[in-house]
Amino acid sequence: MVMNPAGLVAGKSVIVTGGGSGIGRATVLLLVNEGAKVVLGDIDVAGGEETARLAAEAGGEAGFVRTDVAKTADVDALVNRAVALFGRLDGAVNNAGIDMEADPAMQWEESTYDRMAEVNGKSIFTCLKREIAQMVPQAGGSIVNIGSIVSFAGAPGRPAYVACKHAAIGLTRTAALEFAKNNIRVNAVCPGGILTPLMEKDQALKAAVAAANPMGRLGDANEVAEAVVWLLSDRSSYVNGHSIVIDGGFTA
């Protein structure tokens, strides 16, 4: 990819949490390809720095801040860095999350629920609050929360993950309604089975998810990123409080 100065989000300042791998990395790279300036956060320093390097190689502008989204001070630092570098915050992608319940030993454990609620649930609340506080004086912005197909259904053995992904949709809809008057749009993208490094670690799961899909394959992180970038762009200017499911037809 090479940066397109006339792209979908040309000139926009955007932050992306969990930008060190998977959907987050794909989103950062597509954003810079479409002309945005990005600050990405991730708790994984090596992954975050690699994403920033790849963005620079593509001719884009991307900074990295080590960010633990469970810590309010880290979220503040991420938002403040974007504003310091680019003067404003036009968009945000709240993507960071963990899946401790991929380990069966961690399922239905209170400690698991507490940690995942902190990282996958409360962090979206924290990020939204800080992002919106920056966007209100600007009279505009677009935010995308990353949900899941289990934002709308249950999943055996995944109580904490499912609860947090349901919460992401509730927060999305509430913020969309409350801040529409400020020209701030808040939407969600809800992926199904996507080929990410986490999925690559479990070949049996990878094969099973692909076989269960009507299209007979897993999705690519770039296919999710395309929807995210569109929602951040002015092309989606009347889309607000919506959740786009990207799952190859699985939930149909």
Q: Just list the catalytic residues.
A: 161
Distance between CA atoms of 98 and 116, rounded to whole angstroms? Answer: 7
| Coil, strand or helix at 226 | helix
Query: CB 109: neighbour CB atoms within 10 A?
Result: 16
* Pairing mode, strands 91-94 and 61-66: unpaired
Gyration radius from the chain CA atoms: 17
Q: Which two tokens stand for residue 214?
A: 């009507």
Distance between CA atoms of 69 and 47, rounded to whole angstroms? Answer: 16
| Coil, strand or helix at 42 | strand
Cα 177 to Cα 26, 138, 170: the distances in Å are: 29, 18, 11
Query: CB 221: neighbour CB atoms within 10 A?
Result: 22
